[in-house]
Amino acid sequence: MLCAAPAKADSSDVTLNTSTLTGTQVVVFQFSDGDGLIDNSLTLSDFSFGGGSAVGLPDYGGTTGVSGNLTSGISMDDSSGFLALFVQDFNPGSSLSFLLNTTDNFAGGSPDVFAMSVCDLSFNCYSDDMNTGALLVLSLNGGTLSPSDFTLNGASAQGLPAPTVEGTAGVPEPGSLLLLASGLLALVGSLKFRRRMESSPR
């Protein structure tokens, strides 16, 4: 039997320069369960938009283990058995920043993975990493988080520099990348279809 060792929660301040973006954008957070155990949870709080603002209501894409919004804060865990997804629109200002607080338990095998993406309203996500389409990826490999635990990507086509992380930025294991990419692809496809149906004339 695999058993995860307890790990304390670690906090990180994440900031993305969004000054080159115009018009309503979409922020996507996803938390994938790599080891099949319910052993990690995280919160995203203290959102700031650098003069911008959150828009509308969040969409969880039918997934479980996620609650909240960009105004009150977000909670995510790995109880879904696969992937917890959070999607909400925002109007960009000079930057998007938030506080990430997460446990870091690891039972072996594939770690749980948290990722952040920013996309346009058609869910074309911005990233120089074509495998994940993410700007930030964090694999929870156990122990105390450090800057080397984060993978940070820019998006040169949109003029976006990589996010910065303070307080605790490594490459996820190949199995984690596959799970992350396949989960995001399937859920983004579903959300694109849902938005297309909502916007089509009745």
Position 35 scores a pLDDT of 84
Rounded CA-CA distance 117/48 in Å is 16
Q: Which residues contact 200 (CB under 8 A, 6 or more apart)?
A: none
Mean pLDDT score, 17-33: 97
Residue 46 has pLDDT above 70, yes or no: yes
Residue 40 has pLDDT above 70, yes or no: yes
pTM over 0.85: no
- Helix (H), strand (E), coil (C) string for 26-81: EEEEEEECCCCCCCCEEEEEEEECCCCEEEEEEECCCCCCEEEECCCEEEEECCCC
Span 107-147, pLDDT tens digits:
888 999 999 999 999 999 999 999 999 999 999 999 888 77
DSSP 93: -
Give the H/E segment covering residue 195: helix 174-199
Task: Look at 99-103, 142-146, 149-153, 194-198 and tell me which has the smallest mean pLDDT.
Answer: 194-198
Residue 7 has pLDDT above 90, yes or no: no
Residue 50 has pLDDT above 90, yes or no: yes
Task: Look at 24-28, 75-79, 170-174, 180-184 and tell me which has the smallest mean pLDDT.
Answer: 170-174
Position 41 scores a pLDDT of 96
Amino acid at 55: V
Position 117 scores a pLDDT of 98
Span 164-199, pLDDT tens digits:
999 853 334 444 555 555 556 556 666 665 565 555
What number of CA atoms fall less than 13 Å from residue 107's CA on the CB side? 13
Q: So where are the chain's domains?
A: 10-199
Q: Which of 43, 98, 44, 47 is nearest to 71 (CA)?
A: 47
Rounded CA-CA distance 197/202 in Å is 9
- Ramachandran region of residue 70, left (φ > 0), alpha (ψ -120 to 50) or beta? alpha
Q: Which residues contact 154 (CB under 8 A, 6 or more apart)?
A: 127, 128, 135, 160, 161, 162
Position 145 scores a pLDDT of 86
As a 3-state breakdown, the chain gives helix, strand, coil percent values, each rounded to 5, of: 15, 40, 45
Going by pLDDT thresholds of 50, 70 and 90, the confidence category of residue 4 is very low
Find residue 5's DSSP bridge partners.
Answer: none
Percent of the chain predicted with pLDDT > 90: 67
Going by pLDDT thresholds of 50, 70 and 90, the confidence category of residue 1 is very low
